[in-house]
Each structure stands twice: as C-alpha cells, then as structure tokens.
Structure 1
Amino acid sequence: MEVSSHLQVIEIGSSAATSYCARLFADFGADVRKIEPPEGDPLRRSEPTTTGGQSAWFAFLNFNKSSVVIDAAAPQASRRLAALIQDCDILIDGRDVDPADCPFIDLPLISKRHPRLICLQGSWFGRNGPYAGLTATDSTVRALAGLVRLVGPVEGPPMHAPDFQTGILAGLWGFIAAASSVISQTHGSGGRSWLLNIFESSLAPSEYFIAEAFARGDVMRRVG
C-alpha cells in the first residue's frame, strides 16, 4: 500500500503505542525514520526473542521503518534532530513514556518554524488529571481499564498476558488522529498537535461492556 508514500515521519522516544502508530504509517508506504541511541531502542531488549536473539516484539512494532542513530552526547545532536523534524510531515513522540536518550529539542520553536507539522505525543495518562505524570506498565493500564478481567480461564482469577495490548490499542487511535490531520492538510489546514493518552485509549473498548452492564445487567465474563 502506497497511499502515504508522500509522507515523511520521524519517531522519537520509546513506546509500544507510538511505535505501532508509526508502523501503521510505514505499512501504508510512508518513509518512517526511527531515532535511536547508539545502544538501540529499549524495546530491542524486550522478550520474547527469536533464535537469533532479536526481540520479536521490536521486529513487529518497527517493520518497514529505517533507523537513524543519534548520540545525545555528540556535538550538534539536538540541531541534527531538529533538522530532521523540520523536514518531516509527522512527528510521533514517545518520550513521555521513555525518552530513550533522545537529544533535547525545542518542540514549540520547531512547530513555530514548521506550522504544517503534525505532532502526536504519547503518554501513559496524559497531561491532566490525578494520574498525570505517573509512569505505568501495560499490565497496570490494562488492570485500571478493566481489560485484564477478560483474560484467563472461565473459572478462576484473571491471567497476565505478556504482550503490548494497550500499546496496540493506543497506537491505532493515534494513527487515526494523525491520519485525519493529513486529510485536513490536503484541504489547506495547518499542522495539528495530539496528546495520545494510553490509559484513555484502553478505556474505549470497555464503554460498550459498561453500558450493557448498566442497562441490562449483562456482564461480560471470561470465555477461556
């Protein structure tokens, strides 16, 4: 699919949600460049691993992308990264989840110089509210959102699923938001900024079950 072949995307920071969002753009033909430190993105060390010692999850989340290595301690690292962002169409930012040794950038200044830039910033709980600024894990968010109760045997406690379920859900929501901004751009609009809240993204699938339980007492249970 080459519908996004005219787009250049820069991905910074480390987050399953933002990585999956960027991967979807790559799947549709966009030129996606992932900024990594010399030691590599932290997700490269996530399990499970292949027989060759590579992270299977990293391979899945970053299919069709290219990597650009920038050492944050190197001279002009920030200027080099800023130049890459100023030349791209979309910035996908996972630094609030894990900065992954990303060089400092003055994002408001870059946005001022590049008014057509579309920026998507991911975080666990957003910028406002009682959980703002807190760190979490996929399992923590899944438990808070109520999704963990759906995994496991019919009779017995819920089970931990070792995957990036919340990251995949949030990445899809982020892709929809950023892609809608691209459509808006074709009609002469400027860039847009989005805050991707991983927790709120995980609440969305629960809305139907909550409404059913409230209206009819129909409580969804584990199916094994």
Structure 2
Amino acid sequence: MQALQGIRVLDLTRILSGPYCTMTLADMGAEVIKIEPPGGDDTRKWGPPFVHDESAYFLSVNRGKKSLVINLKEEKGKQLFLSMVENADVVVENFRPGTLARLGLSYEVLKAKNSQIILASISGYGQTGPYAQKPGYDVIAQGIGGLTSVTGEPGKPPVKAGFSIADIGTGMWAVIGIQCALLAREKCGEGQWVDTSLLDTMISWQTYLAGNYFASGENPMPQGGAHPNIVPYQLFESSDGYFNVAVGNDQLWKRFCRCINDEQLEQQYPSNKDRVENRTILVNYLQEILYKKTTKEWVDIFEAEGIPCGPVLNFDEIYSNEQVLAREQLVEIEHPTAGKIKTTGIPVKLTETPGKITSAPPTLGQHTKEVLTNLTNLNEEDIEKLLEEEVVKN
C-alpha cells in the first residue's frame, strides 16, 4: 500500500515545476498520466547531455508516469481530455494563467464534469494580481522574490541559486496543496482549485530574513557563505578545499575555541552578540587558522567535539557518499530505450506506506493506447481513427 494509491492525476505540466510536483505524486503511489502535446514536453529536446537520445533533463523529473499524447487544440482532443476528467482526481497544469480557459478547459468546465476534481495550477505570479499574465521563470522569481539580492559575496554582484529552487519549491508547495485538497475532499466531498506561484514560494521562504527586515527596516545583504544572525556559522577554506561549520550557541563556541587551541578567543567574544558585532575581524582571524589544515582534518576535529560541520562536496563525491547511498538517494532504473539510468531517490521515508519508484520516465506517447483503452469508452477502431487524425499519437 502506498499513500496516494488509487489517486489518478492528469498531468498537463512541462519543464520543471509541474513535472517535479507530479513525479512526487507518482513516487507516493498516484497514477500519473502525463498528457503531452504532439511535439512532447519541451525538455525532451533540452541537451546535451543525452542518454541514448533521451534528454538527461527530462529523465530527471518524469519517472513513474505514463505518457499520452493529445492535441488539446483540436475539439476531439479537448473532448477526449474532458472524458478523462470524469474519472480523475487531480489535474495539474503550469501554463500561464488563462491558457486553460482559452482551451475551453477552465476550472469551471472541469468542475462541471467532475465536482470532486482538484485543479492544481502552478504559475510565475499566481492566478490573481497585476503580474498574473507575466511569464514566470525561475531566475526571474529568484530576483523579484529576494533570493538573488542576498546570495553571493559582499560587495560583489548578486548571484542566483545554483539550481532552480523557485521551480522546485513551487512544485513542492503544489504537492502540499493537492494533499490538503484531497484531505478536505474526504470531509466535504468537493474538489477545489489549488493556486501556487514561484514568487509566493520565494516570499514564503524568506522567513528570518524577512523577520530581520521587519524588525530593523534594513535590507538584508549578501553574506557569502555566512549567516546574518550567527557567527561563526559559515563556509571556510581549508588547505585543500572548503567546509562548513555551524557554531549555533555559546556552548558550541567554547568547544570550537578548544578545537582551534585558542581559549582566549572565547573570553574575547563570549556571546553570539559579540561575535556578530565583530564579524569581520573574527572571521578573518579564524580563516587564517582554518587554512592551516585539510578539510578532513578539521571535520574530524570538530566532529569529535560534537560541533556541526561538513565538507563541501562535488557531485562525484555526493553520489559515492556512504550516507547518501545508505538513504537510497541514488537509484538505478531500466528505461525502454536508454537502458539503465540513474536517478535521485525519494526524500520522504514513510514506515507504513513508503514511496516507490515504479517505472522509468516514459517515451513520448508510450502509453497512449493503454490509457485510452483503460480510461475511456473508446474501442480499438476508435483509437486507430484518432491516431490517423493526429488527435492523439503513440
């Protein structure tokens, strides 16, 4: 038994935020039917790199799904989709607001077909507000949402996060919204519209930075690898690389000073307030000391005293790391054309209804005939006719 077993999702999403959402639903047991246009999800062509002509980007966020190709711009395609809505629980889309309505597939139309349907919409700025019709992209949301302004080194240009955190985070919020809507439906018997956006995600994640601003009226500034409220809680360079150390309270500070053989420093900056107020002098002093040993040497020393720390790993180190492997965060699956491929694991561990990677990302239209046979009243002749008319494709 899986947590979302028995839940059927019609997935109209493409690129990253939506596919990440629906992949997560599939990992938790939902039947996810990825409905693609005749040309397929754009990311099928995004590369290099490719794995036997399959885009590595597409493979990374589309496991566990069935692919069905429908031309929703054709009336027959639209009616076919609506017939599937009658037997579905969730529809997920990440078009620009208003696109579904222009296709004749607004929430009101879907609800008329199935009062229990849950529509989850992911967009750049949400379904309402003066920015609603603007195109939404991860890098833009990071900038408008404040992340870029606080990322990077002091005195240097702003920097975006190293991967698409606005897209992925919004996909996660959409999963949470869908789960809330499913729970509410159990109580009231009705579906609802879940509205998430990249900008709202970035704002919601500001947390203590927003709190600092509300309290002081001062704009947060980039701190490089440091924390604005705690010192030392940051990245340091060793003789052969980089590592992070998190001295989160004064007791840890005492231990830290013993580790670097400088107990006088403990007396000089006894409280976190003292350390924050003298951040530049203290950090520069610590960096001189910490540069004298390797990353492994410092990590071993600090861990022996219970001080949180860890190396900065490259991807080749991450995917050979014993903890990553023990948590099954690297998984191999068999793809119909690419052969064995590697994918990241499931981050949520459930004891009674665990997630499971059931299948590789589908080829374009791989399940068209299967889905139409099982989910509609169409017979084989009807399906062949739709294929000939290019309303669907396999």
Aligned partners of 2:128, 2:152: CA distance in 1, in Å?
A: 33
What does 1:172-187 align with in structure 2 at a 5 Å threshold? Answer: 172-187=172-187
Q: Larger Rg: 1 or 2?
A: 2
Using a 3 Å threshold, how does the CA distance of structure 1 residues 56 and 109 change in structure 2: closer, same or farther?
Answer: same
Where relative contact order (Cα < 8 A, 6+ residues apart) is larger, the structure is 1
2:45 counterpart of 1:45:
yes
Which residue in 2 is equivalent to 1:221? Answer: 223
3-state secondary structure, aligned to 1:186: helix
Q: Is the 8 A contact 1:86 1:114 kept in 2?
A: yes
3-state secondary structure, aligned to 1:32: strand
Identity among equivalent positions (%) equals 22
Q: Give the drift of 1:6.
A: 1.0
Which residue in 2 is equivalent to 1:68? Answer: 68
3-state secondary structure, aligned to 2:50: coil
| Cα deviations by residue, 1:140-195 (Å, 9 ceiling, x for unpaired) | 11010111234445663233446322111111111111101111222243111111
> Normalising by structure 2, what TM-score?
0.51
Which residue in 1 is equivalent to 2:149? Answer: 149
Which residue in 2 is equivalent to 1:140? Answer: 140
Q: Is the 8 A contact 1:13 1:97 kept in 2?
A: no
Q: Give the drift of 1:99.
A: 6.3
> Normalising by structure 1, what TM-score?
0.86
Residue identity matched to 1:149: S
Equivalent residue pairs, number? 223
Q: Is the 8 A contact 1:77 1:103 kept in 2?
A: no
Aligned partners of 1:191, 1:21: CA distance in 2, in Å?
A: 18
Q: Give the drift of 1:203.
A: 1.1
Q: Give the drift of 1:47.
A: 4.3
Unaligned runs of 5+ in 1: none
The range that moved more, 9-18 or 177-186, is: 9-18
What does 1:177-216 align with in structure 2 at a 5 Å threshold? Answer: 177-215=177-215
Question: What value does the CA root-mean-square deviation take over the aligned residues?
Answer: 2.8
Residue identity matched to 1:124: G
Which residue in 2 is equivalent to 1:112? Answer: 112
Using a 3 Å threshold, how does the CA distance of structure 1 residues 98 and 41 change in structure 2: closer, same or farther?
Answer: farther
Q: Is the 8 A contact 1:92 1:121 kept in 2?
A: yes
Aligned partners of 1:47, 1:208: CA distance in 2, in Å?
A: 38
| Cα deviations by residue, 1:124-143 (Å, 9 ceiling, x for unpaired) | 11232221211132111101
Which residue in 1 is equivalent to 2:24? Answer: 24
Unaligned runs of 5+ in 2: 226-234, 236-394
Residue identity matched to 2:224: R
